[in-house]
Structures are given as structure tokens and as C-alpha cells.
Amino acid sequence: MPRIALKVEYHGAPFAGWQRQADQPSVQGAIEAALAKLEPGPHTIAAAGRTDAGVHGLAQVAHCDLQKEWDPFRLSEALNHHLKPLPVAIVDAKTVAPDWHARFSAVERRYLFRVLMRRAPSTHQAGLVWQINHQLDVAAMQAGADFLIGHHDFTTFRSSICQSASPVKTLDELRVAGVETLWGPEIHFHVRARSFLHNQVRSFVGTLERVGAGAWQPEQVKTALEAKDRAACGPVCPPQGLYLAGVGYPDDPFA
């Protein structure tokens, strides 16, 4: 039974998240339905991470087990045909070892969060960014972000419904950058770790936005982290600016 790794891109707006749900559309459900058009099901695919409703995928990774030997390129083409018109695309596919696992073989996840700073409504980026109508101080946000990098108890930045066994994680990167785009100035948050807690990235960004707006001092991020109390977190930002940007593996099939 060959195992195929899939690199998946998707727009999160029409979906209730990655994970299959009985009564709501999901990215996982869409791909499994497309697989059933190619081979008798049921199919169950595993992914590197479960994104929430409204969150996008630039390079989500999943794997599937199939009955017959498929050329990976032909499989990706066939899946893309059956995924139409949903905003989901298989951008690459590779045959992997039977014990390779999209989730458990991963050693890092990378997220991007986009904030667009402009007053006029965004026509072309609607649903793809968190739009705010004020400017943010990048240096102040980076100063606050630096307190979060490293090995910490992230209880403050963890959703109350998080199912992770422990709030202790190691954050490898939280980089804040100003970017000029055709539609206006953006702030990009680049976040990297082996694994994340539920709503951790959105909690980081929402808190750092308060620093960038001048409502918090950077040192208050350290105080919030050390409180280990969800009530100490800043507002959790909306999902539409968040992207799963990449997944790292020791032997990356897509390298």
C-alpha cells in the first residue's frame, strides 16, 4: 500500500477548518472526497497540523495511503480536477516510506500572519489579512516578541479548549517585519516552532498589536507570559490573516 505525501494550498474562508466534521465543510473532507473519486473509500488522510476556521494554508502537508501505485504527478492532477471549484490545490505530491508521517515526522511548523494597515476597505485582500486602520510600531512589537522566544510555559497564550498535554513549548522564531505592498503597508509576523498550542499564534499577534499601537509597553508581554494566566493575554486576533506557511522534516520529501 503506497504512501503519498501531499503539499496542500487552500483558502480557509469556506471551511470550518482543516479537520473533517460531520456537518460542516472542511479541507480534509474535501480531499478525502476527491480521493474517493479515484479509489474506493473511505479515505483518511493525516496532516501536519489542524488549522482553524478561516485560517489559510500555503504549504500544509498531509499523507494518504492508496491501494494502487500512482504516479505522484498524475495523482496531484487528478485530485485537483476533482477538487474544483473549491479553493484547495495539491501543489506537489511525492511517494514516501510507509512509516513516514505528515504529523509525527515533522520537526517544525512555520506560520505567517499578515496585518494590513489602511483605512479604506480592502477589495483584493479581503479575507486574506487582518485589516486595521492605525499604524503599528514594528520595533516595539519586536521588543515585546523577544520575550516570547525560547522555552516557556505559554499558558497565557493558550486557548481554554486547547487539548495539548502541556503548555510548555519552545518558540524558535517570532520575527516582526514591515512590508510595503501594492495595496498598502503590512506587518508580517513570522513564527516558527516544533509545535504550537491552540490559538497560540493569534494570541501572540493580538497581544503584540496592543504593543505596536502603544496601548502596552513591550515589557508587559513578559509580565503576561510570566502570569501563566489566560486573562493576562491581549485580545486574540481574527483568523483570516493567518497562514500555515511550511512544515519541516529531517528528510523533506519536497526539498
DSSP string, 143-209: HHHHTTSEEEE-GGGS-TT---S-SEEEEEEEEEEEEEETTEEEEEEEEEES---TTHHHHHHHHHH
Cβ-contact 115, 212 below 8 angstroms: no
pLDDT bin (cut points 50, 70, 90) of residue 235 is very high
Answer yes or no: is pLDDT of 214 > 90.
yes
Residue 161 has a pLDDT of 85
Answer yes or no: is pLDDT of 105 > 90.
yes
Q: Which domains does the chain have, with CATH numbers?
A: 3-105 (3.30.70.580), 108-246 (3.30.70.660)
- Give 8-27 pLDDT, tens digit per residue: 999 999 999 999 988 999 99
Residue 22 has a pLDDT of 86
pLDDT bin (cut points 50, 70, 90) of residue 226 is very high
Distances from the Cα of 77 to the Cα of 70, 90, 183, angstroms: 11, 8, 33
- Give 50-100 pLDDT, tens digit per residue: 999 999 999 999 999 999 999 999 999 999 999 999 999 999 999 999 999
- Give 129-177 pLDDT, tens digit per residue: 999 999 999 999 999 999 999 999 999 999 988 888 899 999 999 999 9
Residues annotated catalytic, as ranges: 52
- Give 174-213 pLDDT, tens digit per residue: 999 999 999 999 999 999 999 999 999 999 999 999 999 9
Residue 165 has a pLDDT of 86
Which residues on neighbouring strands pair with residue 152, listed in sequence order?
169
Q: Distance from CA of residue 17 to its chain's centroid?
A: 10
Answer yes or no: is pLDDT of 2 > 90.
yes
Distance, first Cα to last Cα, the chain: 24
Answer yes or no: is pLDDT of 34 > 90.
yes
